[in-house]
Amino acid sequence: MAKYEELMESIITQINDGVWEIGEKLPSLRKQTQISGLSLMTVLNAYQALESQGVIVSHSRSGYVVAPKIIQPAYKRTNPDFEAIEKVDINDIIFDVLQNSRRPNLINFGSVYPDASLYPRAQINRSLANAARTMPASAMIDNFPPGNEDLRHIISQRYAAQGMSVSPDEIVITSGALEGLNLCLQAVTTPGDWVIVESPSFYGSLQSLQKLGLRALSIHTHPQTGIDLKALEVALKSHNVKACWLMTNHQNPMGFTLPDENKQQLSRLLSKHKVYLIEDDVYHELYAGSKKPLPTKAFDHRDMTLHCSSFSKSLVAGFRIGWVAAGAKAEQIQKLQLMSTMAASAPMQLALTNYLTTRSYETHLRLLRKTLAQRKFALWKVLNEHMPKYVKINYSEGGYFIWVELPEHIDARYLYSASLEKNISIAPGAMFSLTKQFQNCFRLNSSFECNEKHIKAIKTLADLIVELNKNAPK
Amino acid sequence: MAKYEELMESIITQINDGVWEIGEKLPSLRKQTQISGLSLMTVLNAYQALESQGVIVSHSRSGYVVAPKIIQPAYKRTNPDFEAIEKVDINDIIFDVLQNSRRPNLINFGSVYPDASLYPRAQINRSLANAARTMPASAMIDNFPPGNEDLRHIISQRYAAQGMSVSPDEIVITSGALEGLNLCLQAVTTPGDWVIVESPSFYGSLQSLQKLGLRALSIHTHPQTGIDLKALEVALKSHNVKACWLMTNHQNPMGFTLPDENKQQLSRLLSKHKVYLIEDDVYHELYAGSKKPLPTKAFDHRDMTLHCSSFSKSLVAGFRIGWVAAGAKAEQIQKLQLMSTMAASAPMQLALTNYLTTRSYETHLRLLRKTLAQRKFALWKVLNEHMPKYVKINYSEGGYFIWVELPEHIDARYLYSASLEKNISIAPGAMFSLTKQFQNCFRLNSSFECNEKHIKAIKTLADLIVELNKNAPK
């Protein structure tokens, strides 16, 4: 065992023994070298390894603190492993929540976007102005799939930085990741086909299934480890499945990231059954720790993964620019796009290309990740302080969602309505599932600075929950 | 009969008698006042009325000339009136033609867009830069359907200028007209439904039908008067039709504009059979003469018309901003959009709003219309001069398409391939039909300045046609 590993073990033992409690600060690097007699480099290695394992979290102002991961609430395994849904019919609450998110002065815990002030708006606007000044006439007329060549090159190089070889030729620029995901689903299914989705899952996948007349296999999904691979295998064996739509990193709404071995196994399972994976990876830049998680596509050797992402969560919302890395399906995706929206907006593609080539995206991302991690942790602490004991708060590393479970008899839609009256929004669990399983849950957006106003809003939510718990039928 | 009408009649008689031949200049306004002894105003009224009837065309440099409309080639009526197509399967040539349109230095007669130099690019770019400078953070995050409020207001006011009352609340901003059209078709059909289309029609409608698993009733359509209303009625009575997708003004590919009485009758027929009209009106600003044609929606009193348009053909391509005036279906369209692409790009909406409120769109449009009319007429003359006599050239007022018919035994796809080798593109008829009926036709884009290079290209096309006519199996 290396010296840094010995140090790691001893720290983990200390945490388990209660020497360091959740949220508490570990000895600083300098202090730890004095305590352990190890070199600064060894201590740093140990701390970084602990961080990448999610045991501790780094905070610029307070050094390293013990992560909440260790005391996750016990997860109740439900039966059955999966549910087969013949007719996908997702309710109107999604539309309602999104429309209400536009209210002025709303405390927007229900928002799907990060705090707008975290985007590098001045730089983005300068890139847009630059694109406007230099845009050739041809850029407007030649605006057909697969999209801007320079932009596809940059995206290809970002895959290469993760050790993946994705040719610019297999990348198609789309009107946001959502268009890409929809086109992929169209490309590999026909109406009536079975498609695997997570439960709970991003509502966009459920809406797409409904729109395309597809049938859903809704698979049991764990708030920390993601889709249940055993249940997935059973579903694959019992149904003629055509596609599987998953979010593998910082999943919306639960927040988990699939471990690499699960991604590998997932890819192997799907390939074996000749099922395409439509991988929604829009939060991939928002990881915690030091290493960007790989997509499942990195483990796929049979070109069965259509990998979709965008810049909407990490750089700028509202541009509506995403992409698909579609392998051999790229041409079919282009043809489908030509039929749907023709192409993504040309100036938006040029502006992004300008930003990515002339500004420091990495510097922005580093700051964004750090801020999101700090804010998530801060909100988690406030929740733990103010929520009644029977409320379970799921903490996950990366992204900016916290998944909250109320007692089973409380429908979070009531909490949604009641809190909206007090100008606070949440995203109720009913948005994310075709079954009634998650009606007692809701998703919180932790990307906003947790100031007095937000703490007060959390207290209000807690009061409403106490009220609902009293009055709800049991 | 008013004095100006008497003058009109005498001019029409003279044209019919061969006093003034096609393309020949009429006496100038001043000269005509001397000849007729009428006031300048009366002469102007007569000339303008003749222009709006398509009898003469105004050209800035050469005054008023006799329009080609009068000598349209005889149109051969085909049987049957309509064809029922159970499985829509449009060929790959569309993708091929669009991809090839990006070749450098191509003489792009096959293009669907007007000459890029006709767009007010400098002004548009200034508006985009302005939007970039002033864009609030909220514009990016609040970017949900139905789209920018100011932009919807402006569009609503443009309808009002035509005497139509379309509330901003029933307008949804989309990613180009194509997205709008697709969402409308989804809103009013389910897979397997019958949908009426023109024959020939804009290929986008055929692709949408295929994508959504719909069945097509392809209705006989006349190159000057549009869809055959008798055939339409027979089809409506014999099939359970759910929607009808038409282009009523300056139709792509033929170029005709439905007369008002046909629009009225069309709307009445469809309402009677409770069939939604999806009206594709992307060329509406490009009219000839002095009066903007009304859409069929203006004649609809039962809210059965979903009117789709965009700025792509009249102001700027590549922005991908269109709209639907959807009446009571507006909310459903918004929900479908949320599932498909979420929303149209926010900065693009802001830039267009800035342009439309601070620049002179009308001044641009007047110049654009005049230039397009002159160029269309110029190309028509060149075609008449160089094409073999057995080639029929359909002239229509407005827009920028000329529809050409080769002898029936020549498949225009061969002409397409052969001309592409000489760096000239055309849009072959096979792109626009589910039947083989228009394989001997092709569409030409007349928006480019007809210079030496273009005249040479037309001569090359003519030579290739002569060659094909010799070698084709008869």
Q: Which of A91-95, A331-335, A463-467, B228-232 has the lowest mean pLDDT?
A: A91-95
User: In degrees, to the nearest 5, what angle opens at C-alpha A109 toward C-alphas B133 and A411?
Assistant: 145
Q: Of B139, B442, B166, B408, which Cα lies nearest the Cα of B297?
A: B166
**Cβ separation of B94 and A338 shorter than 8 Å?**
yes
User: What pLDDT does residue B72 have?
Assistant: 52
Which sequence spans correspond to the domains of chain B? 3-66, 87-117+363-471, 120-361
Chain A hits for B179, Cβ within 8 Å: 340-341
**Residue A320: which of B95, B133, B344 has the nearest Cβ?**
B344
Per-residue pLDDT averaged across A194-218, rounded? Answer: 94
CA dihedral (A440, A445, A446, A450) in degrees, to 10, reads: -100
CA distance B5 to chain A (A): 44
pLDDT-derived band at B76 (thresholds 50, 70, 90) equals: low
**Cβ separation of B132 and A125 shorter than 8 Å?**
yes
Of all residues in chain B, the percent with pLDDT exceeding 70 is 96
User: What pLDDT does residue A463 have?
Assistant: 97
Architecture field, domain A120-361: 3-Layer(aba) Sandwich (3.40)
User: What pLDDT does residue B94 have?
Assistant: 87
CA distance B346 to chain A (A): 5
User: What pLDDT does residue B77 have?
Assistant: 57
**Cβ separation of A129 and B132 shorter than 8 Å?**
yes
**Residue A95: which of B207, B338, B344 has the nearest Cβ?**
B338
Chain B hits for A317, Cβ within 8 Å: 140-141, 143
The residue ranking higher by pLDDT, B72 or B267, is B267
Report domain A87-117+363-471's class.
alpha beta
Task: Tell whether the model's pLDDT for residue B354 goes beyond 80.
Answer: yes
Per-residue pLDDT averaged across A50-62, rounded? Answer: 74
**Cβ separation of A132 and B125 shorter than 8 Å?**
yes
Per-residue pLDDT averaged across A312-338, rounded? Answer: 94
CA atoms within 13 A on the CB side of A28: 6
Of all residues in chain A, the percent with pLDDT exceeding 90 is 65
The residue ranking higher by pLDDT, B459 or B74, is B459
pTM of the model: 0.85
Q: Which of A129-133, A323-327, B260-264 has the lowest mean pLDDT?
A: A129-133
pLDDT-derived band at A331 (thresholds 50, 70, 90) equals: very high
pLDDT-derived band at A84 (thresholds 50, 70, 90) equals: confident
| Long-range pairs of A362-370 with CB within 8 A, sequence gap ≥ 24 | A364/A120, A364/A123, A364/A315, A365/A285, A365/A314, A368/A114, A368/A118, A368/A285, A368/A286, A368/A314, A369/A285, A369/A286, A369/A287, A369/A288, A370/A58, A370/A60
User: What pLDDT does residue A71 have?
Assistant: 47
Chain segment B449-464, per-residue pLDDT in tens = 999 999 999 999 999 9
**Residue B340: which of A102, A182, A191 has the nearest Cβ?**
A182
CA distance B370 to chain A (A): 21
The secondary structure of A226-281 as a DSSP string is EE-HHHHHHHHHHS-EEEEEEE-SS-TTT-----HHHHHHHHHHHHHTT-EEEEE-
User: What pLDDT does residue A449 have?
Assistant: 94
Task: Tell whether the model's pLDDT for residue A225 goes beyond 70.
Answer: yes
pLDDT-derived band at A70 (thresholds 50, 70, 90) equals: very low
Mutate to test the interface with B, among A87, A175, A313, A316 (most CBs of B within 10 A): A175
pLDDT-derived band at A76 (thresholds 50, 70, 90) equals: low
Chain segment A249-285, per-residue pLDDT in tens = 999 999 999 999 999 999 999 999 999 999 999 999 9
**Residue B208: which of A129, A191, A339 has the nearest Cβ?**
A339
Per-residue pLDDT averaged across B20-43, rounded? Answer: 87
Chain B CA closest to residue A315: B140
Q: Is B82 helix (H, G, I), strand (E, B) or coil?
A: strand
Chain segment B359-376, per-residue pLDDT in tens = 899 999 999 999 998 899
Q: Of B293, B298, B91, B269, which Cα lies nearest the Cα of B196?
A: B269
Chain A CA closest to residue B337: A179
CATH for the stretch B3-66: 1.10.10.10
User: What pLDDT does residue B60 have?
Assistant: 61
Mutate to test the interface with B, among A91, A112, A125, A141 (most CBs of B within 10 A): A141
Mean pLDDT over the full length of chain B? 90
Mutate to test the interface with A, among B341, B447, B448 (most CBs of A within 10 A): B341
